[in-house]
Amino acid sequence: MIRLRVVCPADRTEAALAVLRGHAGATHLVLLRGAAIDPEGDLVTADVAREAVDEVVGALCELGIDRAGGITIETIDTSLSDAADRAQEDAPGDGSDAIVWDELIAKTGEESRPSATFQAFLTIACLLAAVGIATNSTVTLVGAMVVGPEFGPLAAIAVGLVARRRDLVHRAAVALGLGFPLAIAVTAALTWLGARAGLLDRETLLHGTESEFIYQFGPFSLVVALLAGAAGMLSITSAKSAALVGVFISVMTVPAAGYAALAAVLGVWDRVGPAVAQLGINLIGIVAAASFVLVIRRRGAAEGVFTRPLSRG
């Protein structure tokens, strides 16, 4: 179940109540007149079956409540109520397959911002990858994959493409377009210092058998990226966050970036290009598969949900 918290102008409260009362997937309706101070108005709350949220929110937005008031979407972990059970049974569709698009856009939009925190995580992940490659440590490479935050912007690009949100695509593309080059540059600089201190040498990279899969790209590189992108988007849209860990471990984004930096500093130029190509293949494959999953799942929803302006966050 999802809880809707609606700050509603007084002159639109009855229309909002009619929307909520008229939908079989809504229950636990509460009205507090005059409770809202900024913006001024009434406070309406309701618990809505997940599969009905997009339809209900779309109807409320048609009343202009998102502009004159506000709509907050909160996930309810546990609800002990016969009325809630009936609402879930009566709502059309299956809650486990439903996508709450405003929630999805807000979530991916937040993760796609080119922030200092995002850059720090990406840089640390690339450094961990470089250390794993230099020490021939698969465990460290896996750690680098898990630390890497790049799936958030990739998912945001896919959502932006399907939901026709250019701002989301642009913001995520900036995060990746600035993030990876900067992370690679920092990794290269610190790798150079390590080489000067005698911690790294060219022979280590040339004979590191545990990291060969990073730069040896081929058809299976694209296959893995496509499968990971599909699994990642299914995980995000179905709130199965545990599956994302497997997605992070399966893709060669951060390891390829770390390998390219390390190979460039140590002068193994014939592996820099393949590592960069591996990075590009994985980025493109993840976005393509994630977008495809969204398009397929979108077909089961009303077209109006995707033509109205979605959350501006």
Check residue 308 and report its DSSP letter.
S
Answer yes or no: is pLDDT of 183 > 90: yes
Look up the CATH number of the domain holding residue 47: 3.30.70.120
Residue with tokens 């080119």, as numbered in its chain: 114
Exposure string of 228-242, with b = 16+ CB inside 10 Å and e = fewer, is bbbbbbbbbbeeeee
pLDDT confidence of 283, banded at 50, 70, 90? very high
Are 164 and 84 in the same domain?
Answer: no
The pLDDT of residue 218: 77
Are 235 and 272 in the same domain?
Answer: yes
The pLDDT of residue 177: 94
Q: Is residue 138 part of a domain?
A: yes
**Mean pLDDT value across residues 134-139:** 85
Per-residue pLDDT tens digits for 48-86:
988 888 889 989 999 999 898 999 988 888 888 888 888
Are 141 and 73 in the same domain?
Answer: no
Percentage of the chain surpassing pLDDT 70? 88
pLDDT confidence of 310, banded at 50, 70, 90? very low
Count of domains for the chain: 2
Q: Mean of the per-residue pLDDT values for the chain? A: 84
**Which is nearest to 185 in space by CA: 128, 143, 126?**
126
Domain boundary among 70, 98, 126: 98
The pLDDT of residue 307: 40
Are 168 and 290 in the same domain?
Answer: yes
Q: Is residue 303 part of a domain?
A: no
Q: Is residue 107 part of a domain?
A: no
Domain boundary among 98, 121, 154: 98
Provide the residue range defining the domain that includes 8: 2-98
Are 140 and 287 in the same domain?
Answer: yes
| Radius of gyration of the chain, Cα coordinates, nearest whole angstrom | 23
Domain boundary among 43, 63, 98: 98
Are 33 and 81 in the same domain?
Answer: yes
Per-residue pLDDT tens digits for 186-245:
999 999 998 888 877 777 777 655 667 787 777 888 898 899 889 888 888 875 555 666
The pLDDT of residue 267: 86
User: Full-prediction pTM beyond 0.85?
Assistant: no
Answer yes or no: is pLDDT of 311 > 50: no
Are 86 and 22 in the same domain?
Answer: yes
Are 84 and 123 in the same domain?
Answer: no
Check residue 27 and report its DSSP letter.
E
**Mean pLDDT value across residues 11-20:** 92
Lowest mean pLDDT among 17-26, 47-56, 152-161, 200-209: 200-209
Lowest mean pLDDT among 70-84, 100-114, 171-185, 289-303: 289-303
- The side-by-side arrangement of strands in the sheet containing 70-75 is 26-36, 41-48, 2-8, 70-75
* Cα 181 from chain centre: 21
More reliable by pLDDT, 129 or 79: 129
Classify residue 269 by burial, with Cβ atoms within 10 Å: 0-12, 13-18, 19+: exposed
The pLDDT of residue 247: 67
Are 65 and 198 in the same domain?
Answer: no
The pLDDT of residue 182: 96
The pLDDT of residue 197: 84
Answer yes or no: is pLDDT of 298 > 90: no
More reliable by pLDDT, 48 or 112: 48
Are 274 and 245 in the same domain?
Answer: yes
Per-residue pLDDT tens digits for 232-258:
888 888 755 556 666 667 778 899 999
